[in-house]
Structure formats: C-alpha cells, structure tokens
Amino acid sequence: MIIWHRTLSSPRLAVSVGLALVLSVSSSVAQHEAFYQSWRWAKFAVAHGLPSNQVFAVAETPARTIWAGTQKGLAWFDNYQWHTVEIKKDREAPSVMLMETYGGDSLLVVVDSAVYLGTTKGFHLLVPFDEKIQSLVPVPGGAIYILTGQTLWMYNQGRLHRLRAPAQPMQSGGKNLWKTSSGSIWLNTVRGLYRGNGKSWTRVLPASPTACFITTVVEDGSGNGLAAVDQPSEATGVWEWTRNSKPSKSSTERSRFPQTMDASPAGTVIVVYQSGDVRIRHRGVWSSETAPPLAFSSTHVVKYRDNGDLWLGTDEGLFLFKSFTSRWAYWRHPFADLRNYSHEISRISDGSIWMGTLRGIEIHRPNGRVEYIEEILGTTLGTVTGIVEDGQHNIWVSSGASFEGAFQWNGKRWKHFGPAVGLTAERIHKIRLDRKGRPWFLGLGIDYRDPVHQPGAFVYEHGTFKNWPARRDSVSPGLVSGRVYSFAEGRDGAYWFGTLHGLSRWQGERWTHWDTRRGFADQNPRVFALAVDSNGSVWFSNEGSGLGLVSKSDSLRFYTTDDGLVNNIIWDLKADESGGLWIATRGGLSYYANGLWSNVTLRNGLNSLSLWDILPLKDKVYIGTRGSGVNILNRSDEMHPPFLLMDPPTVQESRALVRWRAFSYFGEMEPEDIRYRHRLDDGAWSDWQKEAELSLNELPVGNHEVEIQARGAFGAPSEPAKAHLLVEPPLYRRPEVIIALSFLAVTIAFLSGANWRRERKHKRQLEQSDERFRLIASSTTDVIYDWNFTTKAVWSNEPNRLYTSTPSLIPDDAFNTWLDHVSEEDRDRIRTSYHSIISRKSPEWHEEYRYRRTDGTYGHLLHRVLIFYDDNGNPARIIGSGMDISERKDAEELSRYLSRRILEAQEGERRRVSRELHDSVNQILASVKFRIESLEEQLTGRSLRFKREAGKTKQLLNKVMNEVRRISRNLRPAELDDLGLASAVRSLAEEFTERTGIDVTLLAPWPKSSLSPEITETLYRIIQEALMNVEKHSSATRVIISFTASDENLVCSISDNGRGMQPDDRGKSRSKSGGLGIVDIRERLSFLKGWLEIGPRGKGGTTLTVHIPLGHQSSSTTTPS
C-alpha cells in the first residue's frame, strides 16, 4: 500500500504536534497521483508472449491464473511471461472477447457461437449454438447461464435447456447478462434490470417508460454497484446503489458511451469512456483524470485484481497498474510546503526518524505520530541541515543557513551552544560522529568567498569544544580549508574532512591533503560528502565529477555515468551495514556493491530525481528530496529475480553466439535495468553487463556449458540458465572427414589421370577441328567474320577468291568501311535495314545488295548476320558471312528474260489467232449465216420441215459465232489494243455478269497516265484470271475492281464476297481451265518488279491486291547482258 500523511497545522510554538492520518491507495487523491508514477505501470505486448497487442478481455481465476483474450487468441500469465493456448485446432487463432472464470482454475471462452472450457493445458468444446452468444456467467452449483438473442439457457452437467426469464431479455445494447463481485447475476430485459441468485429474480431498475440499453453492470464485494445506461435519453448516465438502497441516477455522471468500467474490492470505481475520459468514484465522490496516462488510450477493458491492482486491455497492449505495493512509501506534504525539502535524516535510538527541512524539524515516532519543531528557545529554525544523536543520547541540531551554533536536546530540555562555550562557527553545516560517539561540528563562514574567516571543524568532548582550523599557509598544519562540509572516521582511526578546497586526512599526527595541486587538477575540489564503507574504503563526492575513491596508494579515482552511476552530481552518500554504498544525486539514486551498480529513478519508484540526504538502514532506506518529501524504500520486500529464457545458441567453428530473453516478475523492471553475468564450464563469473547476448571465441573442441544469471535492482541473482555448446574439431581432424578425404584423393588421382588422357584426346581433336576450320575458311569464296564489341576485336578469314574484300580489322572503322563498299543505290536501304534490326533487338539479319568487288566492279552479295546482345540490350557480338551471288543473280535475270520473251511470244500468238478468228473464221461463219437465212426465205410452206431444220442450223451457227468471238476475246480482246485497258475490263465485266449473274462493280478512278502495253496486258490477264476463279470457286454474288495510281506505283484490287480463299488454295500453280494460276501471276508481276498480296476481305470473301511500280515501264524489256 501507499502511505499518504496529512498533518494538522499548528501555530508557531516551540513544539507543534500533529496526528498522521493514513490514507490507503483506494483514496481518489492517492489513485490520481499514483497514476502518474511510471514505476507502477507495467506493459505487456507481443514481445512478452501475447498473441496480439489488441486485448479485449482479462480474467483471473481463484487459483490466481491470469488470462488475456486478444485479437489473435488466448494467453495465460505465469507471473513472468505470457503463454498462448490453442482453442480450436487446425484454424487461425480466433479473436477472444468474451470469457469467464469457472471453478478453481478453469476458464469459459466463447468462440464462433460456441462455448469452450479449459485450463492452461488445453481447451475442449463444451456446447455449440446456432446463433450469436451475447454473454455467459457461471452460477452456484456448477451451472452456466448463457444468453443468445432473446433466449436464456442453462447448461449443467452436459445438459442444455431453456430457462424461464423474468421478462424477455434485451437483444441489443450490451452483454445484458453479468455476474458481479458480490456473486449476483444481472439480467437486462424489456421490463428492466433484474438481480438473480440462481433461484429467483428481483427487479432492481424498472424500465420506464421504455426499455433501457444497459452497457455495463459492476458491483464491489459489499454489494455497492453501478449500471451504465445508454438509452433512453432521460435515463442516460450512471445509476448507483448501495447494498441497502435502490438505484438512483448519478447527479454528475450523465455522459453516454462508457467503454468499460469496474469496481475494486475496496469499492473504488473506474469508468473509461469512448471519448477517452476517465472518471473515478471513491466513497461516493466522483473525480476526473484531467490528463489520463497514455495507458488509458484505446482502452477496451479495465479489471481490478483482488489486491487492488488494475489491468487495462488496450490496442497497444495489456497494462498493469500496481496499486498495491509494500516496496515504497512516501512522506509528503501538500504542494509548496517547505517541509518537503529534506536536508538531513537521522534515526534516534528510540526508533524515531528526525528530519531537517526548510521549515524546521519533522519527527516520525514509531507509533505513527508526527511532530513538528519550528522554533527552539525562541529561535525560528528555518533550514535545518544537521541532526545527530551522540554517544550520550543527546540530539544535536544545526543549520548551515539559518541560525548560529547548535541546539542540544537531552531528552528533557533544549540548550543552545555557541561562541560563549567555544563553538565559534557562524553556521554549522553538518554534525557527524566519530567512532567514539563524539560529535564533530562542521563550520561554515557567512561568505564562502572569504577564505580567511572560515571556522573549520569542532569536536565536543567532556563539555568543551576543540577547534580544528585551516592551515595558515601551504606548509603549516591544519585543514586545507576552514569551510568544512563533511567528516568521517576511517576504520584505521584516520579523520577525513571534506572542505571547500579539497580533501584532508589526519592520521598518525600527520596531515595529508588532496587539492588542485594533487588529485583535483581537473575537477572541482569542493568535497561535499564523505563515507567509509565496511572494507575501510573512503568515498567522497565533489558535486560534479561523480563518485570519488581514495585508493590504498592515496591516489584518487572517479566513477561517473560511464561506469554506471546514475548522475555525476552527488549530494550525499552513505554506507550501509552490508558494505553497500548509497548515493543520492541530482538524477536519482545509485547503489554500489560488489562491483555492481543499481540505479533507481522515477521508473523504479522515486517521486523525484533531485535527491538530497539519504539514510540507509537494515530494513529501509530513507531518501530526502528537494521539494517532494521523503521516499522510503522497503528493503525487506521480496524482490523476485528475473526469469531467463535461452534462445538456441549458434556455433560456427570455434565461435559461439548465445542469446537470451529476460522477463521480470509482473513486469516490475524494464529490460534495460536488468543486468547479466555469465560463466563458461564452471569457471569464474564475469562482470555484470547490460547486453542480453554473449559472443565466445576460440572455444576448445568438445562440449561446453554456458550459465547465465540475471539480476535486478537490489535483488538476488536468478537461478542460472544454461546453454550447451558442441564445438566440433576442424574438418581435417574428423575421422569421417579423413576417410572421405582419402577416398576423395584416390578418386581425384584416378579421375585426374583419366581427365589427362581425355584432355589429350580432346586436344588432338580440337587441333584437327581447328585445322579443318582453317582449311574450310581459307578455301571458301565467302567472307566469314566475328566482330566482338566487348573486346573490340574483329576476326575474318581470307577467301580463296578475292571477289569480295574482307572487313576492316580496326573495330572503330569496320562498320563505315563495310558501308563504303555497298553500292550507292542500296546504301541507304541497307543502313536503314541494319539499324531497324538493332533497334528491335532481332537476333538475325540478312540482305542482298550490290557490292564493290576487289577489282572495282560491282556484284551481288548475300549478307547473313547473327547478333548477340548484352544485358542492356546493346550489341555485344556479331558473327556474319558474305556470299557473292552475282552468277545466281545473272542466271535469275536471264531466266526472267526468257520467261518474259515466252510470254511476249504467247501474247503475240494469241493476238494473231484472235484476229484470225475474228477477221477470217467469223466472217466465213457470217457468210454461211446469210446463205442459210436466204435459203430459209426461199423454202415454201410445203417444206416446213426443212425450214425448221434451217432455223435450228442458224441457231447453232449463232452459238458458234458467239463462242468464236468469246474465244477471240479471251485470247486477245480487240478493245485492249484499240480502246485501252478501261474499255477492255468494262467489256470483260459486262460479259462476265451476263454469263454468270455475278455483279461486277468497277470503281473510279482509272489510271490517267498512259501505261505500257506490258502493264496493260498483265493487268488485264490478272483481272481475267481473278474473275474466272471467282466464278469457279468463291460462290460470290459481287465483285469489286478498283485502281489506285500515283506517279510511282499502281495498285489494283479485286475483292469478292464469297467463301474466301483457303490456305492451300494459294499454292495452286494453275487452274484446271488453263488460265493463269497464282504462281504465273507472281511470275508475270516479277517481270514488272511488282508483287501480289492475297488476304481476307472484311467479314467474308477474298481480296487480291496487285502492286506495280511505274518507274520500271521503260526498262521492263531490257535484254540481260
């Protein structure tokens, strides 16, 4: 518990007495102030074992097992760390928001509309439901009440049956079913709030005029409780009742949306609202947390423990506020009271604690009474800096600031000692005892800047004062300065004095000094405090340089924050009976013992960092502060050592890394405050360290055991945690490795011999292959080269016939040299083609072009290239070949010439036959027709049979004439020569439509420029063949013929809407009718440097597109050389 003392004010009397009123932590004032003591808070998160930082529920069983329901499952606490427990196997951990303790150490948990029962060892399904479970509570006799929707159930001994509720349960607004600390069961219904005892129900809060939406109901152990009502608006707020009174609406708590609330066993109630506001009720009085600690942010649940500690489940983790503790107590007055400044704390032989403050003396008697002394013999005490009880049980009081001399209390009366009796000091800073029990008075002058008028020290013995003054010069005896702040007698009988200008020691009738010329060359020489520990070591402080130690060789050593001291500005230090050293600093409390530093700050329990005087006793340590009263550390309180959890060690060769995690008891220590030490194989323990890991090097081969101990502030070390290490010998020393290496050596020797023989064979084969390649490369007439962009190297063969020149072997010139040998007509085309391939990252390129030979003439070259690219897409290597194809080109040209001449001869013969048919045969047939018509007219009616035969003959003759004309037109239409291409095609289309019924549309415009006879004839034959194919194969109903002409090109397109051309149709060489096939069309176009495209037409049909360059009209009949 925390002790808060409130004293009665008294008038300025010689002695004023007050009665200490002890207020427990349940006081709202105590609770409010304690919330801001950071050492009382412990935080648990995923790092401590929780499944998730988001905590929705907390419960503690009668057997003291603590459970937490989180967003990712359930965990229990072993007082050091959290352990996750699986509820449902083979699925992701569910969110746990509803749970209740059951029996001695069991827990009921609701997950997915089912109730589970279990302990720390595991859970099993108890009873499933088909609808959402709002709440459940255990009732006396082992039964469980379960609320689902508007139905109340009871589960008992494996049986589930419906209960008759006092009214229809509410379905929304909250859990609507609760069990409070008093053992009562509460049910919210449409008719109001009922209290049950397992047998009957009593309505406590009627619904008037409408049902109430109640979010929470809590009660303390005495039956005093609260209910948070959210709706209706006229009932909104907190309703309160006592064990013997009916609920009434609070006059102050009218807010809506409380997030959570709970009542402590002592009756204190805490309410956390969704807005973040925190309200506390104690003894019927509500108060607010004006600035709640961060632990209250995003709170889901608050839960009091039986000892008054408070759990807070939040989105940031689970917090524990340790309200109850016997480790710390505090004596403090209201703010601005000068008695909160404590300059001196002394324990008197009757057990009383006397304290010197800025407002006189405060005395705490063993029976709890508190007395205040503000005046003695008419002197206002003001600041009291020295209090001590001498060997004769006289109590001496002095001041370094307020009054002259010293006062003595002999148990009956006060007496003043001053200049009249030899105590000539203007001010007495401190009073200290030597080992004989004699008091030493440490004097100060009024002005510390006056080095002459400083009184020195005084010892009182047998009723007289003896002065120990300062030396007059550097060689005369005496103190190094007459302004004395501290005194101590060593175990060897030496007197030690701390002064303004340094440290002085009187031993064996001889003075020794440490000042700016010795020991304090770089430090402030003012020694403010002295202490001698149980080993006889002398410790001192000079305010800003840390903790000083006088070594056995009389040298000075200083310990600072770098060594573990909490702060370098020290105001007091005392040694306790066990040899430990207590150090009060401007930044907290330090304890030094056995080489270990322990520090206490606000995080550990101090209410102020600015400390002044300190009094260490066997069971308690009294710590005076500058304005915050006295902090009392209970040394007899059990301090649990941390628990260590070892991680698997890592061993690599002769090195090992050992890591561990430390968990303190109920989170009472921060990880950075825990210290560790280790030892290897039962060796000596190491020094204490902060790091939670250990690196070991050069470990001998074999098994090793590492032991780790943890220690907190002032506590005993933990039981050693052990890690076992196996350091295996080097590979070359392991038997299995030696055997394997031997086998490997034999294998390698065998394989090396075989490999040597194989390499010789491969080398001979490679030499033969190289020779074969050189012969082939030198005998071929082709150029072969390898251009490496990375190494900037170009290799080329030497062709047998130097028809073509080899590439330049200078990388930077190779490309331009090559282009210089390309004919001017082809150079731009080749350059564009090459760069296009490079830009597309194509791996292959080949072109034919005219190339300047080595003799200056031009030939045709086929150039093939393989291109390899680097990771950035740039060419890295090119392998190419060049073949002179001039002879092939000449042969092709000759073949084309002969084919063209044959076609010309065919066309000439067709023209001749066509004219013969038209001019001769047709004329003869026409004469025959005239004669038959004449004969028909001469036949009389008696020769009707002959007349009919003549008519039939005339009809046959007409057919013959038409067929002759058609054959003549097909062989060579007269319109083509007489009227031109347009008239010939139009006549052909009309005849085709008349004969087949397929509509032919001719689209304008026709070519305006005059076309060569060769182009005209080729176009006519292609259109003629296309119409014939449409008639026989396409099943079309319409054909469209169009022309597009420019100065350079002529394009003719023939499209139909038939079934389309199948892929295998395109390769037919000739039609069965004897007309031009696709091959013949392409061949005829090749003579004109033209080409043919065949493709589908839109939604159906086929399109033939003919391309003829007009620039070749004049050269189409050139005779090859």
Give pLDDT, residue 2: 31
% of the chain with per-residue pLDDT over 70: 89
Same fold, 647-728 and 980-1121: no
**pLDDT given for residue 275 in this prediction:** 84
pLDDT at 804: 54
Residue type, 879: I
Q: What is the DSSP letter of 992?
A: H
Report the topology of domain 980-1121.
Answer: Heat Shock Protein 90 (3.30.565)
Q: What angle do CA 452, 458, 461 make, to 5 degrees?
A: 160
Cis amide prior to 1007 (ω within 30 degrees): no
1044-1074 residues labelled b (16+ CB within 10 A) or e (exposed): ebeeeebbbbbbbbbebbeeeeeeeeebeee
What is the Cα–Cα distance from 212 to 189, expressed in whole angstroms?
A: 8
Percentage with pLDDT > 90 across the chain: 43
Tens digit of each residue's pLDDT (9 = 90 or more) over 90-131 = 778 899 999 999 988 999 999 989 999 999 999 999 999 999
Contacts with 335 (C-beta within 8 Å, 6 or more apart), sequence order: none
Please provide the distance, in angstroms rounded to a whole number, between the alpha carbons at the two ends of the chain. 123
* Helix axes 1078-1087 and 886-916, enclosed angle (nearest 10): 110
**Domain at 783-880, CATH homologous superfamily:** PAS domain (3.30.450.20)
Architecture of domain 343-580: 7 Propeller (2.130)
The tokens for 1071 are 């039609």
C-alpha radius of gyration, the chain, whole number: 58
Identify the CATH class of 647-728: mainly beta
pLDDT digits (tens, 9 = 90+) for 724-734: 999 988 877 77
The list of the chain residues with pLDDT below 50 reads 1-30, 1063-1076, 1114-1119, 1121
pLDDT of residue 496: 97
CA torsion angle 566 569 571 572 (round to 10): 40
Residue with tokens 């062989």: 971
Give the three-class secondary structure for 664.
coil
pLDDT of residue 1116: 43
Q: Calculate the alpha carbon distances from 1044 to 4, 1101, 1108 in Å.
A: 110, 21, 11
Sign of CA dihedral 938, 939, 941, 944: negative
Specify the pLDDT at position 357: 96
| pLDDT, tens only, 985-1006 | 888 888 889 888 899 998 877 7
Helix %, strand %, coil % of the chain (to 5): 20, 40, 40
Element (H, E) at 582: strand 581-585
Instruction: State how far the alpha carbon of 980 is from the alpha carbons of 1007, 1017, 1020, in Å.
Output: 11, 10, 10
Q: So what's the pLDDT on residue 548?
A: 94
What pLDDT is recorded for position 25?
31
From 644, 649, 643, 646, select the one nearest 696 (Cα to Cα).
Answer: 649
* pLDDT single digits (tens) 1-56: 233 333 333 333 344 433 333 323 333 334 555 777 778 889 999 999 999 999 99
- Among residues 355, 308, 351, the alpha carbon closest in space to that of 332 is found at 355
* Cα–Cα dist 37/30, whole Å: 11
pLDDT digits (tens, 9 = 90+) for 132-159: 999 999 998 889 999 998 899 999 989 9
pLDDT in tens, 421-473: 999 999 999 999 999 999 999 999 988 788 778 999 999 999 999 999 998 88
Other residues' Cβ atoms within 10 Å of the Cβ of residue 553 = 5
Q: List the domain boundaries for the chain.
A: 343-580, 647-728, 733-776, 783-880, 885-972, 980-1121
